[in-house]
Amino acid sequence: MKLYQITELEQLTSIKAHTIRIWEKRYNLIEPVRTSTNYRRYSDDQVKKLINVSTLLSNGYKISKIAAFSDKEFYLKIIESKSTKKEDVIFIKFINELLIAMIDFDEQAFEKTYSAVLKRFGLFETVLNILYPLLNKIGLFWLINDVIPAQEHFASCLIKRKIITATDGLPFAKSRKKKFLLLLVPGEMHDLSLLFANYMIRSKGHETIYLGQDVPYENISLVLKQTKPNFVLTFFTISQNPKDVYSDFKKNLDLGVNTKLLISGQSDITEHLKNKFGASVVLNPKDMLNYL
């Protein structure tokens, strides 16, 4: 069983470590195990409980009230929270449910929650307000060793499958208002954000040319010359020297005056390309909507 440090628990639940310690002492909300050197460690069940506590707090419950709930009352309140009319709160609720399903490797629970989300909000809002924020939260797991990368891969594969299926169901662009070339440069393999962007662009009626991951620069150059896109979109997820990335772009890619470079990911790389290459940084999907 994976045990989490309190700093990891803080990242995963968005609850400050200092607050967690106070809740332990004042309300006996959770009881960590202790290492031989007296450091706190937390189980998957305790992570899930604090995620649910975060959900109830966002619904207006006070921590003193939450701590007094019996186990049955606690989970009934979690279920009742679905009836709230505040969309931002219900988004958090569904994100947390999907996160718990990921921790448990529970595909059935994931599918059940996803179906409820889809029925309530529709596909575009689900992608924008639930799946993408979930992806960001899952990204925190990548920094934790042991079993956590497997949980991250489990959820990412499920989400990727949903996005690909959703994209396949979209009609082809009729007017071809704008043309986007989507790709990851050599060495970049994490294509989930690129898949999100491809779905968003196509759902708004624009044309995409999707090249995917780890595309050689000579291939990118050939496609640029042949298709003449309005925009090129790429993501940087691995650490690289920004100067090397800029050198590769300058040497291999001739965008021309009518093609705009859109970039996202590692801030040191994106800022360097923004300053040196005149690229525009896309921080999140809502930024992407500005170009659609």
- The third-level CATH classification (topology) of the domain covering 172-291 is Rossmann fold (3.40.50)
Indicate the pLDDT class of residue 148, thresholds 50, 70 and 90: low
- Return the structure tokens found at 275: 């300053």
Amino acid letter at 127?
Answer: V
Helices of type H across the chain: 6-13, 17-27, 44-58, 63-68, 71-80, 87-103, 107-121, 123-126, 132-139, 148-168, 192-203, 217-227, 242-252, 267-277, 285-288
Structural domain boundaries of the chain? 6-167, 172-291
Render the burial of 248-262: b for 16+ CB within 10 Å, e for the rest: ebeebbebeeebbbb
Average pLDDT over residues 7-18: 82
Cα(236)–Cα(234) distance, rounded to whole angstroms? 7
Q: Do 163 and 128 meet the contact criterion of CB atoms below 8 Å apart?
A: no
Cα(204)–Cα(177) distance, rounded to whole angstroms? 10
Q: What is the pLDDT of residue 290?
A: 86
Q: What is the pLDDT of residue 146?
A: 41
Indicate the pLDDT class of residue 241, thresholds 50, 70 and 90: confident
Q: What is the pLDDT of residue 138?
A: 67
Residues across the chain: 292
Examine the pLDDT at 143 and tell me if it is beyond 50.
no
What is the reported pTM? 0.67
Q: What is the pLDDT of residue 87?
A: 59
| Residue 62: exposure state from Cβ atoms within 10 A (0-12, 13-18, ≥19) | exposed
Q: What is the pLDDT of residue 292?
A: 83
Cα(198)–Cα(232) distance, rounded to whole angstroms? 12
Q: What is the pLDDT of residue 229?
A: 94
Average pLDDT, the chain: 84
Q: Look at 33 and 85; give whichever has higher pLDDT.
A: 33
**79-83, 103-107, 214-218, 254-258 — which one is most confidently predicted on average?**
214-218
Tens of pLDDT, residue by residue over 68-92, are: 988 878 877 776 665 554 556 778 8
Q: Do 9 and 42 meet the contact criterion of CB atoms below 8 Å apart?
A: yes
Examine the pLDDT at 112 and tell me if it is beyond 90.
yes
